[in-house]
A = this chain, B = another copy of it.
Amino acid sequence: MSDHDEAGRERPASEAVRRSLARILAREETIHAWAEVDTEGAQAQAREIDSAPSRLPLAGLTLGVKDIIDVGGLRCEFGSPIYRGRLAFSDAALVATLKSLGIVVVGKAVTTEFAFLNPPHTRNPHNLAYSAGGSSSGSAAAVADGHVDAALGTQTAGSILRPASFCGVVGYKPTFGRFSRAGVLSTSPSLDTVGWLSKDMDTTIRVHDALGGEPLGNAQARFGFFHGVHAMTAEPAMRLGIERLAESLKATEVPSPPMLLDNLHATVMRYELRQELATEFLQHRDQLSPLLKLYLEDSPIQRADYLGALEHRDRFDIERMFAGADVLLTPAAPGEAVEYGTTGDPCFNRLATLLGLPAISLPFGRGPKGLPLGVQLIARRNQDDVLLATARRLDLHLRTLTIDPTR
């Protein structure tokens, strides 16, 4: 089968789907990235896109959708036995929008249980003994292993950037609220953010542009970096790599954000997760993982403390943190992927999530185990255009640079 039909017309979507399905067939038994693959639906959608009167902006791209996001007609089980057999009636708003732009949904990507911490059976494609991270585990692994060009994920703590870093792909968490969550499982209304993981910066930006994102522009961003407690306890390869990168970018040092922000994030997330998962906790407690059950059964956060945390967050002086820089440079994760059987620590990702700032993880090197390392960029709220333009430049910069963080 070629990229063209008998009449010589291009059929980029069908060809992309053919490649995607072949790769999944060859690799899924090893990687376990998928909750469901929709072979027939994907092929039908591709035929429709290829026969559209004009070429759609995302034609030729394939998409995985994290299994806490509805795709009409497919099961959506939130990674939990409680929801086994749950069929989504219609597409989530963002899925419908992406489909209308010509991207083909190939299937539902594995998520951790309710996008929380309990590890799923997804493997890291770079080394099967390691974790793909979470909670967007299948999304990261599927993109890293070449099953799809991009995958939707969500982040409440570090659920897009951490797996992206572990799997060596680009993971983009937009500004809080940038894209609709309609049709997406709610776990924490003040934090949950939908974004996507992609094989490269071009794809990340192509999706952003098609969705009506602000044009990127060309202004040079000033980089800032800081020595926080987390950075000092990161794996040496990650720490050294980021320091060298900061140096090569002439990043200026900015004040370390207070550790208190981590506590605020924990307070908000614990309070809200318990509210949002009330049905599961009240009616199906015995079908929760021990880890989630323990978390929900812990002494509840008082409402006054929750409101205090939100207020503190809203008053936090973001300008002081940026200190004149446009984009902050930090590790995207403490180091290389953790071992299979856990999803790793989101300690570097809570900052941007709590404050609603756009953030992206870019692969920039490998650690001593030969696994990818990711650098995180963080920009001001609603400056997704600055973030992505800077990430694109950094991506080019990285190609001219040899950073070997293991030495």
Contacts and interface: CB of A to CB of B under 8 A. Distances in A.
Contact of A275 (B182, B190, B277, B382): B182
B278 A93 contact: yes
B181 A277 contact: no
Interface in A61-108: 72, 82-83, 86, 89-97, 100
Nearest to A95: B279
B276 A96 contact: no
A180 B190 CA distance: 12
A97 B182 contact: no
Contact of A279 (B82, B93, B277, B282): B93
Nearest to A381: B307
A250 interface: no
Contact of A214 (B90, B96, B214, B303): B303
Nearest to A86: B89
A330 B190 CA distance: 31
Interface string A360-392: 000000000000000000000010000000000
A233 B182 CA distance: 37
Contact of A282 (B97, B183, B283): B97
Contacts of A41: none
Interface in A300-323: 303, 307
Nearest to A178: B303
A180 B306 CA distance: 14
Given A182-B186, A275-B182, A282 B83 contact: no
A324 interface: no
Most buried by B among A72, A83, A275, A303: A275
B181 A278 contact: no
Contacts of A181: 186, 189
Closest 9 CB pairs of A and B: A96-B279, A93-B278, A180-B275, A182-B276, A86-B89, A182-B186, A91-B279, A100-B282, A97-B278
5 contacts: A83-B90, A91-B279, A93-B275, A97-B282, A180-B186
Given A177-B189, A182-B278, 10 more contacts: A93-B275, A93-B277, A93-B279, A96-B283, A177-B190, A182-B279, A183-B279, A212-B303, A214-B303, A307-B382
